[in-house]
Amino acid sequence: MYLALDPERLVTIEEIAQSYGISKAHLMKVVHQLGLRGYVETVRGRGGGLRLGRRPEEIRIGDVVRSTEENMAIVECFEPAGGHCVIEAACGLRSVLHEALAAFLSVLDRHTLADLVARRRKPLARLLEAS
């Protein structure tokens, strides 16, 4: 969201970390993953930094979550190798949780990064500058 406020401007990891009050080390890992997937472009060297790798209108939140979350297994039986749940053969919860996860992702799919900042651009910018 920080990069979407001014998509063409190069910003540093330090600047983002300070604005959000988060760990620079953690943010570097996140930025690396987003860069590998083309969501963020990194520019090295003096005067370098980060900017969006795509237009905010092209970045669907559901796609970002799917591509950055290693494991969407909210219960053990969702794991690819299966689980060791003693009631798995008769459990009705698994199908309900699959439905809930699909609904969650469906809602995220309806929104882009541009949607998240469009009407809130000024308040977001003020909050992030004040941090």
Burial 83-111 (b: 16+ CB within 10 A, else e): eeeeeeeeeeeeeebeeeeeeeeeeeeee
| pLDDT value of residue 125 | 67
The third-level CATH classification (topology) of the domain covering 1-55+120-131 is Arc Repressor Mutant, subunit A (1.10.10)
Stretches in the chain below the pLDDT threshold 70: 80, 82-83, 121, 125, 130-131
| Cα four-point dihedral sign 81, 75, 102, 110 | negative
- 37-69: per-residue pLDDT in tens? 999 999 988 888 999 999 999 999 999 999 988
If one counts every other C-beta atom within 10 angstroms of the C-beta of residue 16, the result is 20
Helix (H/G/I), strand (E/B), else coil: 111: coil
The answer to whether residues 65 and 108 touch, using CB atoms and an 8 Å cutoff, is yes
| Per-domain residue ranges of the chain | 1-55+120-131, 60-111
- The predicted model scores a pTM of 0.79
